[in-house]
Amino acid sequence: LKYNYSIVCHTQPEKLFTIFNYSTLVCSRCAGIYFGGLVSIIIILFGYKKNISTKMLLISSIPLFIDVIFTTFRVYNYSQYFALVTGMLLGSLGFFYIHKSFVLLFTKNKG
């Protein structure tokens, strides 16, 4: 299982959440992306359909990329919680964008 997650995440030990001596299988940023996607799925299941433009998706990725660049060049220290939040932002809006794309694809092919 750990190998499968290591394909999509670097899984550096210092970037994993550890709870009761058990570490998550993905870093906090990837966990945020997955959790944001899960929250979006739940919201969509309750009937809320938010259309996200490509521009909005790109804007939502800016905080994540700034965080990656700043931690890579040691402008500030890595924060699991900030990585989680920026991942959640991109994950939730990204899933809304993907959902909208699939809806457009399937409705276009119907008619």
Query: Could you tell me if 30 and 23 are in contact, meaning their C-beta atoms sit under 8 angstroms apart?
Result: no
For residues 90 and 68, give the distance between their C-alpha atoms in angstroms, rounded to a whole number: 13
Per residue in 47-94, pLDDT tens? 887 788 889 999 999 999 999 999 999 999 999 999 999 999 999 999
Q: Which residues pair with 16 in a beta bridge?
A: 27
Residue 68: closest CA among 52, 90, 53: 90
Per residue in 22-43, pLDDT tens? 888 899 999 999 999 999 999 9
For residues 85 and 83, give the distance between their C-alpha atoms in angstroms, rounded to a whole number: 6
